[in-house]
Amino acid sequence: MKKLRVTVDGKVFNVTVEILDTPAAPATAKLSPAAPVPAVEAAPVAVAAPAPAPAAKSSGGPGEVCSPLAGKVVSIDVKVGEDVDEGQQVATIEAMKMNTYVYAPKAGKVSAVVAAAGTAVEEGGCLLVIG
């Protein structure tokens, strides 16, 4: 056992350290009863943002692909006359600095593109029509 005096942020602590023969083993330290125990503030925990969920199936008319949320259209990834597969990404909507990808609810040919990149869209607003 070895007694040490440690200064942390201007505060002096008396500690007792046990030195072990094995260099790989950690040394244990005990604060002496007379020494004040400094308060330790917990560091903030970073929480990863959840991945954007794919859009639900269109609730509009037959073949309409609707926006799952209100936001700004970042891109329409298909053109009129283009064949799309069910589940293919057809648009990207940005809301609260997060992108949400919109997927085709069915396979078919794009018959109309209603929304344009850079425009605002309401929740449930039509983006395009698959015929």
In the chain, pLDDT over 90 holds for what percent of residues? Answer: 51
Tell me the per-residue pLDDT of 20-41, one tens digit each, with 9 for 90 and over.
Answer: 776 655 555 555 555 565 665 6
Task: Output the pLDDT for position 30.
Answer: 57
Q: How many domains does the chain have?
A: 2
Task: Output the pLDDT for position 11.
Answer: 87
In a domain, 100, yes or no: yes
Q: Per residue in 13-48, is it b (16+ CB within 10 Å) or e — as a string?
A: beeeeeeeeeeeeeeeeeeeeeeeeeeeeeeeeeee
Ranges 1-5, 55-59, 94-98: which has the least confidence = 55-59
In a domain, 72, yes or no: yes
Tell me the per-residue pLDDT of 64-89, one tens digit each, with 9 for 90 and over.
Answer: 999 999 999 999 999 999 999 999 99
Phi, psi (degrees; rounded to nearest 5) at 113: -115, 115
Same domain, 68 and 20: no
Identify the domain containing residue 115 by its residue range: 64-130
Task: Output the pLDDT for position 118.
Answer: 94
In a domain, 59, yes or no: no
Same domain, 123 and 69: yes
Give CA–CA dist 129/131, Å, rounded: 6
Look up the CATH number of the domain holding residue 85. Answer: 2.40.50.100
Whether 114 has a pLDDT exceeding 60, the answer reads yes
